[in-house]
Every structure is written in structure tokens, then in C-alpha cells.
Amino acid sequence: MKNISAHPVRILGLDPGLRRLGWGLVDAEGARLSWVAHGVITPDEKQDLAVRLLDLFEGLSQVIAQYRPDEAAIEETFVNMNPASTLKLGHARAAAMLAPARAGLSVAEYAALDIKKSVVGAGRADKDQILFMVKRLLPLAGKAEGGLTADAADALACAVTHAHKRKTAALKRTLGAA
């Protein structure tokens, strides 16, 4: 983990999905967060699963090469009623985790409940509430060309959560050393 006070830390947030992988980048400097970029990687749904996973990995690798984040954060997979869907989401999540790991980045994992609490203040927030709050926290994200989709907003929310959590962890380390 990069030193919190030295320079801005660029955080890549990821919202994994097999149809749409949302990504978002923020720079964290102390308590200040700045939007850098966001987007969605959408592999061709007609392709075989392996090809779609490769598209996710390669697309995310390009994002990492272009924006050079320092750390990454990803939403944990939730288990739903359909085991096949959960397994496919797990595959997409693995492809999304491999790209930053291959680039030498640490990858933090956060439960959806934690992300919602961190950004909205309520663990049962819906996608519209997350989108609204991300636009409030990162106003330039909402003004970006192409707008801000729910998938990209979820990824930015994950990056914001990581920024908050890493700051808290650093404070605890500082207080523990005193």
C-alpha cells in the first residue's frame, strides 16, 4: 500500500460482470478524492465464455496500462439463487482480479454492503442511490463524455470505499505506533 501522505494514490475500482465490467479511477490525496476516468468493458455476448473472459482481462489490462493505478479494489461476489450465474460471475471476477495482479497491484475486496454503507450510508441502497451519491462525491464523473452508467458508478463507489478504508487503516497504524 502506497504512503497516504506522500502523493495522490490512484485507485482502480472494479464492478465485475460477464456482460459488463465497470471500472472507475479516483485519485486520493488525504481526504480529497478526484475523479480520473471511468468506463465499462462489454465483451461480445455471442462469443464463447473463454473468449469473453479474455476480452475482460485484455480490456482491463489496457485501462491499467493507460491510467497506471497504484492499487485496485473489487466488489466481492454475492451468492444468488442460481448457482450457474454465481459461477459465471466468479469467472468474470477472477478475470478482473488477474489484470491488476499481473500489473503488480494489490487488490482489495469489499462486500457490496460495505460499499453501499461507505458511499450512501445505508447497506440496502439501490443502484440509483449509488449513482446519485457518486455524482455528488465526484461531480466531474457525472459530466464526463458519455455520462455515468450504473456499472461505472458501482466501480467508482468501490474505489471511494477503498480510499476511505485505507485512510482508516493508516490512521489505526499511526495511533497504534504512538
Whether 1 maps to a domain, the answer reads: no
Largest CA distance in the chain: 58
Stretch 8-30: mean pLDDT, rounded? 96
Query: pLDDT tens-digit profile of 50-104?
Result: 999 999 999 999 999 999 999 999 998 776 778 888 888 899 999 999 999 999 9
Is the pLDDT reported for residue 5 higher than 60?
Answer: no
CATH number of the domain where residue 119 is located: 3.30.420.10
Percentage of the chain modeled with pLDDT above 70 = 89
Tell me the one-letter amino acid at 32: R
Closest CA to 60 of 32, 34, 23: 23
The C-alpha angle with vertex 11 and arms to 33 and 141, in degrees rounded to 5, equals 50
More confident residue, 106 or 122: 106
Question: What range does the domain containing 63 cover?
Answer: 9-177
Average of per-residue pLDDT values in the chain? 90
What's the predicted TM-score (pTM) here? 0.90
Residue with cell 467508482: 156
38, 152 Cβ separation under 8 angstroms:
yes
Whether 67 maps to a domain, the answer reads: yes
Question: Catalytic amino acids?
Answer: 15, 75, 151
Specify the pairing of strand 32-41 against strand 71-75.
unpaired
Whether 3 maps to a domain, the answer reads: no
Query: pLDDT tens-digit profile of 129-155?
Result: 999 999 999 999 988 888 899 999 999
Whether 167 maps to a domain, the answer reads: yes
Whether 4 maps to a domain, the answer reads: no
pLDDT score for 177: 60
Whether 33 maps to a domain, the answer reads: yes
C-alpha–C-alpha distance, residues 68 and 133, integer Å: 26
Q: Name the DSSP letter for residue 8.
A: -
- Which residues, in sequence order, are CB contacts of 33 under 8 Å at separation 6+? 26, 27, 137, 138, 160, 163
Closest CA to 34 of 144, 122, 116: 144
Is the pLDDT reported for residue 166 higher than 50?
Answer: yes
For the chain, the domain total comes to: 1
Whether 128 maps to a domain, the answer reads: yes
C-alpha–C-alpha distance, residues 13 and 163, integer Å: 10
Whether 97 maps to a domain, the answer reads: yes
